[in-house]
Structures are given as C-alpha cells and as structure tokens.
Amino acid sequence: MSIRLRLLLSYTSMLIVTIVLFLVAGLLLSVAMTGDVSRIKNVYTSHYAVEPISPQEEAVYLDVKYYVKNQPDQLLNTKVLEELDHRLVPAEAGLFMRKGSTVLYTSTLASLRDQVSSLPPIETSNIKVRDTIHAADGRYFTYLKFDFTFPDKSEGSVYMLKEVSPYAEVTRSLLPILIGVLLLLLVLTNGLLHFLVTRSIVRPLLALREAAGKIKEGELNFEVNSEARDEIGMLSQSFEDMRKRLKDSVDVQLQYEENRKELVSNISHDLKTPITTIIGYVEGIRDGVAGTPEKLDNYLATIHRKAKDMDHLIDELFLFSKLDLKKWPFTFAVIDLERYLQDYAEELHFDMEQKEIQLIFTCPQQSGDGYPVMADWDKLKRVIANIVGNSVKCMDKSEKRIDIALLAVGEDCLVRISDNGCGMPDSALPHIFDRFFREDASRHSPGTGLGLAIAKQIITEHKGRIWAESELGRGTDIYFTLPRWKERSEEHNEAHPNYRG
Ligand SMILES: Nc1ncnc2c1ncn2[C@@H]1O[C@H](COP(=O)(O)OP(=O)(O)OP(=O)(O)O)[C@@H](O)[C@H]1O
Ligand SMILES: [Mg+2]
C-alpha cells in the first residue's frame, strides 16, 4: 500500500472518528441536560425545554394560577399585576396580560403593547406553555404563559416574558446549516492537510528515488536539494553527502588514472632521451667515428654523463614513489630549527665558496624558546638541498647570493630560501611543485622535475606548507612552514602518526 493511500485512509478514519465522537458528545450532553432519551428529538425544536425557569418566574406563575382559579377578579386589578411584574424584575422578565385581543397589562421590561398579533393563539388546555416568540419589531422573547377564561367567559392569557438575544435565535434557526458548514470545513481541512502532508513526504521521496536511479546509472553531476528540516530533509541531506563522497572518490580515481598515464608517459620520455644519446654515441664508437683518443674520451664522457642522469632520474623516481606510497618511513624527532639551519649553512659554506655563491643564514626574531619543530632530520635536509640546488642551477648574476631566513609566524616556523637568480614567469609558479615540471630546460642544466615535488611531499608529511614567489630576472623565494613543537606530547603524536622519535 502506498504512503499516499495509507495517509488518505488514516485521515479519512480520523475524520469519521471525529464526526462520530462529535455526535456522541452531543447526544450525551443533551441526555445529561434533559435527563430523558425520548426528549432528545425535542432539544432542537424546543430548546427552551432544557432551560430551567427561575424561582421568581415559578413563584409568579403559581400565584397567577392561584388567582385564576380562586380570585380571577384580582387579575383585573392593576396594583396586583404591578406587584407580580415587580417580582419578576430580578429574573429580568416582565408580565404581560391580555383579554381577547385587548392588552390589560404590559411590563416596561418586555413591552408587547403593539405586538399582540405576534402571540400564539389562546389555548386554555395549556398544553404548550413555554416557547419563543418573534415579535413583529424583530425582538425575540421566551415565554411562560397561562391561558384561562375570565368570569365573563372571555378568554385571556398571562405571559412571563424574557427578551433574548436575536443571535441566539438566528443561530438556532440556522443550526442545521451551521453544522453542515462545520462538517464541510472539517472535511476540507482534512483534505487540505492530507494534500499538504502527502506532498511534503511523497515529493522528496520521489526526488530521492530519481536521484538513486541517476546514481545507479553512474550520473553524479546533480544535487539533491531539500529545504525540509524534518527526517526526510535529513535523509535527503545524507543522500546528498553520499553523492558528494561518491563523486569525490570517482574524481580521485579518475585523477589517479590520469596521473598514472602521465607518469608512464613522462618516465618513458625522460628515459628515452638519454638512452637514445647513449645508443648514438656507442654506435659512433663502434663505427669508428671517434677516431682520435680525445674524441673517444669525449664520447665516453657524454655516455657517462647521460648514464648518471638516468641513474639520478631513477633514484628520484624511486624516492618519489616511495613517498607517494608512504613506504619511506619518517623518523621524527624534536629539532631546534635555528641550530639545524645554522649547521647546514656552515656545512654548505665550502661548496658555495667554490661556486662563488654567498650563502647567508639569518634569524632576525629572537625567540625565547628557540625554534623547536618535530621533523625528520634527513628528509628535511633533502628539502633544503633540493631548493638550494635549484637556486644554484638558476644563478645568472655575477654576484651570486642565497639567503636562508628563519621566522616565527603564529604557531609556525617559517623558512624562506631566496636567491637572486633568473627567477621564473608567473605562469610557471603554480606548477613548479608538480612532478616532472620543468619550466624551461634550456635556461639552466636540465633536471628531472621531481626535486620540488619531493620537497612538497616531505613538507606535507610534516604538516607544513610550501609555496614560492618569483620574478623573472629578480630571483625566487621559496617558503615552507613547520608547526612549532609544543611540550604536549599527545599533540605531536597525533599530528605525526609516523612519530617514532
Ligand atoms: N630557484 C629557482 N629559480 C628559477 N626557477 C626555479 C627555481 N626553483 C625551481 N625552479 C623551476 O621549477 C622547476 C621544477 O623544479 P624541480 O626542482 O622540481 O625540478 P628540477 O630542478 O628541474 O629537477 P631536479 O630538482 O630533479 O634536478 C625547475 O625546472 C625550474 O624551472
Ligand atoms: Mg631541482
């Protein structure tokens, strides 16, 4: 059974139950008020039967009956009538008396002087003594009357009248229509509720079904939107999260696939070039092209250089793939970065002097705690060596300079390695950390294009960031950060799952 049908059934049954309860409540109420099941049918036609008369009205009524039977002359005495009328004032009722069509007395409270025609005909058997009259001037009165015969045989009536609200009477006369309207409203409200609830439940479910169908077909480029804040909204949100996750993993898969293809093509290309050169030179030697010992030396030196390039490429590739597969374990230990860089600069000093490069290390901010970082000693060296190696390769000025600076920035230690070399164009900057990226091999000695990719892998593993700024002709600044180590050991253990220091 569909949700729509189930909801329709539940709403209809609620509607029926409401109507039945409504009727039973009405029935019980009227039984309680009239005390008689057989009189229920009269409740509507003569509702004043259920309204008890006041003690004053009852007393005056009994007195009137007494006068009729024993002293009918008294009823012609205005003083007596005035006294009876006065007794009715607390009950907000008034006395009225007629003889035939002549008005003998009418109370000021319920004056019916010109309304005799509105009164019911005289009926001395007094079967129906209570009812309502609608006067010709629009007023409504409830009455308790007594019809009798005067000593002169003419007929007359005594009324105890009480004016009632015309609305009550109008309501009474319109009651069947009002009840009908109420029932109609009940049915319409139920119908509307059913429509709204069904729409708010079934619509998103249909949208989810459609979304599931799309996912089944492999289509993930859409959005499951739901503004509802209820369970269905939560379900839609979970569905949307699932779609996003699925899409991300498919994208990553595609990216991996793309990377793999690119990697194979780059490796093939980078190995092919030196091998072609080596083959050419070996064939040259074999064919006797290298006739002189100098030429032979030259050929062999080129073969040796190309073979070393290949060896370097394979080493770098191997390293990069180990890093990529997380197969090169990191050995983290707390290092004072200032000391570390200072030592490293001294270590490089001789080498740099040979190359006529001035390498300067500075640490302008004095930090009380030093610059402790949790790092892998050797791998960090690899990062700096790769960056400094690039600077050396790109030197094109007569006064060559490399500056290493250590700064504290927020929670991080920032290392800046600047050179005054050839720099690089803005277009190259976003790609230099990609593997196999070489901006322009002709401008300096060619490399593998893996140096900065390896540096980035290592820094990322240290939970740091690496980036570059450069200007063609001015030089290049490479920055990397390492989180400053804090005394709380659980923090760095968590930050470095490979921590074994
Ligand atoms: N200091 C620098 N000055 C100018 N260009 C740079 C500098 N550092 C990097 N580059 C550019 O970024 C590219 C990528 O550098 P990366 O170190 O990854 O590769 P590589 O130096 O070509 O190869 P490898 O480091 O393996 O020998 C370089 O080819 C060069 O174009
Ligand atoms: Mg390099």
Domain shared by 276 and 385, yes or no: no
Please tell me whether residue 308 adopts helix, strand or coil conformation: helix
Domain shared by 469 and 389, yes or no: yes
Pocket test for ligand 1, best of 270, 315, 386, 390 (most atoms within 8 A of CB): 390
Residue 235 reports pLDDT greater than 70 = yes
Helix-then-strand count for the chain, H and E:
11, 12
Residue 501 reports pLDDT greater than 50 = no
> What is the predicted pLDDT for the residue at 240?
92
Q: Does ligand 1 have an atom closer than 6 angstroms to the CB of 390?
A: yes
CB 334 within 8 A of CB 501: yes
Is residue 16 in a domain? no
CB 97 within 8 A of CB 159: yes
As for how many domains the chain has, the answer is 3
Domain interval for residue 292: 231-322
Residue 440 reports pLDDT greater than 70 = no
Q: Does ligand 1 have an atom closer than 6 angstroms to the CB of 451?
A: yes
**Tokens standing for 123?**
């009926």
**Tokens standing for 31?**
């039984």
- pLDDT mean over 248-270: 86
Using the Cα atoms of residue 368, residue 371, residue 373 and residue 377 in order, give the sign of their dihedral. Answer: negative
Hey, how many other C-beta atoms are within 10 angstroms of the C-beta on 464? 22
State the Cα–Cα distance between residues 361 and 290, nearest whole angstrom. Answer: 48
Give me the phi and psi of 133, to 5 degrees please: -120, 145
CATH number, residue 465: 3.30.565.10
Is residue 12 in a domain? no
Domain shared by 357 and 490, yes or no: yes
C-alpha dist (Å) from residue 331 to 453, 477, 499: 20, 28, 6
Q: How confident is the model at residue 294 (pLDDT cuts 50, 70, 90)?
A: very high
State the Cα–Cα distance between residues 57 and 61, nearest whole angstrom. Answer: 6
238 backbone φψ class: left, alpha, beta (φ>0; ψ -120 to 50): alpha
pLDDT tens digits, residue range 164-184? 877 776 777 787 888 889 889
CB 469 within 8 A of CB 406: no
Final residue in a domain of this structure, among 164, 197, 213:
164
- Give 276's DSSP letter: H
Domain shared by 406 and 431, yes or no: yes
State the Cα–Cα distance between residues 162 and 288, nearest whole angstrom. Answer: 143
> What is the predicted pLDDT for the residue at 498?
46
CATH number, residue 101: 3.30.450
What's the burial of 440, exposed, middle or buried (CB within 10 Å: 0-12/13-18/19+)?
A: exposed
State the Cα–Cα distance between residues 43 and 46, nearest whole angstrom. Answer: 6
Is residue 440 in a domain? yes
Tell me the CA–centroid distance for residue 445 and ligand 1, in Å: 10
Tell me the CA–centroid distance for residue 438 and ligand 2, in Å: 9
Q: Does ligand 1 have an atom closer than 6 angstroms to the CB of 391?
A: yes
CATH number, residue 273: 1.10.287.130
State the Cα–Cα distance between residues 411 and 224, nearest whole angstrom. Answer: 40
Q: How confident is the model at residue 497 (pLDDT cuts 50, 70, 90)?
A: very low
Using the Cα atoms of residue 264, residue 266, residue 268 and residue 271 in order, give the sign of their dihedral. Answer: negative
Residue 340 reports pLDDT greater than 70 = yes
Instruction: Give the mean pLDDT of the chain.
Output: 85
Domain shared by 115 and 258, yes or no: no
Final residue in a domain of this structure, among 115, 137, 164:
164
Q: Does ligand 1 have an atom closer than 6 angstroms to the CB of 447?
A: yes
- pLDDT mean over 237-264: 89
Q: Give the least confident one: 271-285, 311-325, 334-348.
A: 311-325
Domain shared by 336 and 268, yes or no: no
pLDDT tens digits, residue range 409-422? 989 999 999 999 99
CB 437 within 8 A of CB 431: yes
More confident call, 427 vs 436: 427
Domain shared by 239 and 281, yes or no: yes
Q: Does ligand 1 have an atom closer than 6 angstroms to the CB of 226?
A: no
Domain shared by 280 and 334, yes or no: no
Which atom of ligand 1 is nearest to 313's Cα? 26
C-alpha dist (Å) from residue 158 to 7, 155, 194, 419, 459: 62, 11, 58, 124, 112
Final residue in a domain of this structure, among 287, 322, 357:
322
State the Cα–Cα distance between residues 501 and 485, nearest whole angstrom. Answer: 13
Is residue 113 in a domain? yes
Q: Give the least confident one: 14-28, 38-52, 365-379.
A: 38-52
In degrees to the nearest 10, what's the CA dihedral of 103, 108, 110, 112?
30
Q: Give the least confident one: 129-143, 244-258, 262-276, 441-455.
A: 441-455
Tell me the CA–centroid distance for residue 470 and ligand 2, in Å: 15
CB 139 within 8 A of CB 166: yes
Q: How confident is the model at residue 35 (pLDDT cuts 50, 70, 90)?
A: low
Domain shared by 306 and 361, yes or no: no
Q: How confident is the model at residue 383 (pLDDT cuts 50, 70, 90)?
A: very high
Is residue 224 in a domain? no
Residue 493 reports pLDDT greater than 60 = no
State the Cα–Cα distance between residues 418 and 479, nearest whole angstrom. Answer: 9
Is residue 216 in a domain? no
**Tokens standing for 472?**
């063609």
Is residue 459 in a domain? yes
Query: Which ligand is in closest contact with the Cα of 475?
Result: 1
- pLDDT mean over 86-95: 88
CB 378 within 8 A of CB 454: no
> What is the predicted pLDDT for the residue at 381?
95
- Which uninterrupted H or E stretch holds 250? helix 231-286
The protein residue whose alpha carbon is closest to atom 19 in ligand 1 is 449
Please tell me whether residue 93 adopts helix, strand or coil conformation: coil
Domain shared by 124 and 159, yes or no: yes
State the alpha helices, DSSP H only, in 325-440: 337-354, 377-393
Please give the angle made by the CA atoms of 225, 228 and 233, to the nearest 5 degrees. 70
> What is the predicted pLDDT for the residue at 277?
92
Query: Which ligand is in closest contact with the Cα of 392?
Result: 1
Beta partners for residue 413, in sequence order = 408, 482
Domain shared by 137 and 236, yes or no: no
Domain shared by 318 and 398, yes or no: no
Residue 83 reports pLDDT greater than 80 = yes
**Tokens standing for 264?**
């194979």
